[in-house]
Structure 1
């Protein structure tokens, strides 16, 4: 399919269901025979995506391994990332009400994830997908399932430093509040 995004993990392209003609996004990650390190995060991401069902979280359609590639097919097929939207030279007409709506959608989705003991751990504009007036949380590659909603971890998170809570930057125990801090950074960026 046509590639619509690239990252350290691999690429995202467009795939079509041959029967329904429905378009989906497919995240692909190359596995090499001597390096199977990508398999565990892939399995964790698929497990987490199977657990969630929220209007503003991407939905898992299928996951499979083919030609030494790990594949995650998801819906909806977005028009782009929030990062691409924020990088536009000028904000489109009617942006303020849209941003207000997006903040509510993302807050609801993050609250849902936390209630289901899922820490995203990498909330940033590149992982937030935009489709028309909706926004979706995506990319659960470094997310974690925690035993208790309020539990903390002192493991070093590989998240993007610009959106990292101070406790992560200082290698201190951190919990779901770190996701909330990251969302706050995204909201601040949307408003400035």
Structure 2
């Protein structure tokens, strides 16, 4: 719309195009007509003519204006929302966006931690005002020396506020970064875990240079990858719930990466405190349990296995309690790896089965209960331990809930040709479970 030499609003002369790649706006390099500034500026105007786009553009400017004087959010130097097209003026960031620092970030773990924390600080400023960004990606963090600011609030939304999106625009955003709930109506009711999902994808893209649609650990330190995976869990309830919680997990990860603390020693100390509370005080502290689970997940596999050998039976009862239960899926994945090696010790299959039964009996999530059963059956079958098999049978025949029955039937289908085929179906309280056992017999 505007070309070189054009004067906008009688105040700014265009001297070149900066970017036209944005969803709603075009950015042009401008000079003030009346007086010079000590720094370069750019002007962003709404390039879309429809009223809905203009309303979103104006909302972005109003949101940015609410952060006047905030060093972590893009600053509006001037604006005119009544002009057609509406525009605002901002500082020009010659260092570009965060993607231009990717190589340095990848090669310097200390700088990596610093920049990731600065990103979190920026988004924390938005969340403190109950504002969700909804379009987080590397390109929306602008670099100014060692500092960064968050930009592009065109899709931002205040918690509880209305939206200008029509039915035909259920969600917007950037492919690869969108949390799954945005695809099923969650875009209009975004929450902090939605932004945290996109932060995880952004971390991953910066560290690997790969498409963020699918996460692969190659090239990412295991401690950091654990944090990224939890950020990007498909279930919002399993992600970090706040930026503060994510920041704490990131600090623990970089304690490992930068060798600031001995991971195994710190984890063992945390476990000792938990065990003392459980045994002598008969209570637990949620933050101690979740902190320990984070520490353990960041250890090398052999260290993690050593710790799992030390977990008391009461620990498994605690895992199924709210709000700790949200961490259970990750723990069960790790325990499955551990147990396959541990049952080489002849009698350990009984311990595995007992531990998994503690979770099976107390968890409220059918998927977690089915996973615990799956691990127990694997252990019993690998070690050929009849006591462990009896514990598994007790779990299987106790199922009465239809939803759990379906999940358990799927587990039994995976273990056809094993001892589960011999379970007496008259003892089963679930038709789905009984039918799965019969199907296993017929398949042999």
Map residues 32-51 of structure 1 onto 2, 5 A cutoff.
32=49, 35-51=50-66
More off after superposition, 91-100 vs 18-27:
91-100
Query: What TM-score do you get using the length of structure 2 for normalisation?
Result: 0.37
Q: Distance in 2 between matches of 1:47 and 1:105?
A: 23
Say whether the 8 Å CA contact 1:61–1:73 is kept in structure 2: yes
Q: Distance in 1 between matches of 2:149 and 2:174?
A: 18
Pair 1:119–1:67, CA change in 2 (3 A): closer
Specify the alignment match of 2:207 in structure 1: 191
The correspondence for 2:116, drawn from 78, 88, 103, is: 103
Give the superposition deviation at 1:113.
0.6
SS in 2 for 1:162: coil
Give the superposition deviation at 1:171.
3.2
Q: Distance in 1 between matches of 2:190 and 2:82?
A: 37
Q: Distance in 2 between matches of 1:4 and 1:105?
A: 25
The yes-or-no answer on 1:2 pairing with 2:19 is no
Say whether the 8 Å CA contact 1:16–1:24 is kept in structure 2: yes
The yes-or-no answer on 1:28 pairing with 2:41 is no
Q: Distance in 2 between matches of 1:82 and 1:50?
A: 23
Give the superposition deviation at 1:110.
0.8
Give the superposition deviation at 1:162.
0.8
- Consecutive unaligned residues in structure 2, runs of 5 or more: 1-14, 162-168, 209-444
Query: What TM-score do you get using the length of structure 1 for normalisation?
Result: 0.80
Of the two, which has the highest radius of gyration?
Answer: 2
Q: Distance in 2 between matches of 1:131 and 1:13?
A: 19
Specify the alignment match of 2:36 in structure 1: 19
Map residues 133-152 of structure 1 onto 2, 5 A cutoff.
133-147=146-160
What is the RMSD of the two structures over their aligned residues, measured on CA atoms? 2.6
Give the superposition deviation at 1:76.
5.4
Say whether the 8 Å CA contact 1:78–1:129 is kept in structure 2: no
Once the two structures are superposed, what CA deviation does each residue of 1:44-90 show, in whole Å capped at 9, x if it has no partner? 1111011124322111111125873321112353421223444xxxx
Once the two structures are superposed, what CA deviation does each residue of 1:117-160 show, in whole Å capped at 9, x if it has no partner? 11111001221212222222100111112249xxxxxx933111
SS in 2 for 1:163: coil
Specify the alignment match of 1:162 in structure 2: 176
The yes-or-no answer on 1:118 pairing with 2:131 is yes
Q: Distance in 2 between matches of 1:10 and 1:166?
A: 26
Say whether the 8 Å CA contact 1:98–1:133 is kept in structure 2: no
Pair 1:28–1:95, CA change in 2 (3 A): farther
Pair 1:4–1:95, CA change in 2 (3 A): farther
The yes-or-no answer on 1:181 pairing with 2:194 is no
More off after superposition, 131-140 vs 107-116:
131-140
Say whether the 8 Å CA contact 1:31–1:70 is kept in structure 2: no
Say whether the 8 Å CA contact 2:159–2:191 is kept in structure 1: no
Say whether the 8 Å CA contact 1:59–1:76 is kept in structure 2: no
Query: Relative CO higher for 1 or 2, CA cutoff 8 Å, sep ≥ 6?
Result: 1
SS in 2 for 1:2: strand
Higher normalized helix content (fraction of residues): 2
- Consecutive unaligned residues in structure 1, runs of 5 or more: 149-154
Specify the alignment match of 1:152 in structure 2: none
Give the superposition deviation at 1:4.
2.1
Give the superposition deviation at 1:40.
0.6
The correspondence for 2:76, drawn from 56, 60, 63, is: 60
Q: Distance in 1 between matches of 2:175 and 2:48?
A: 27
Say whether the 8 Å CA contact 1:15–1:25 is kept in structure 2: yes
User: What number of residue pairs does the alignment pair up?
Assistant: 180
Q: Distance in 2 between matches of 1:66 and 1:2?
A: 24
More off after superposition, 48-57 vs 70-79:
70-79
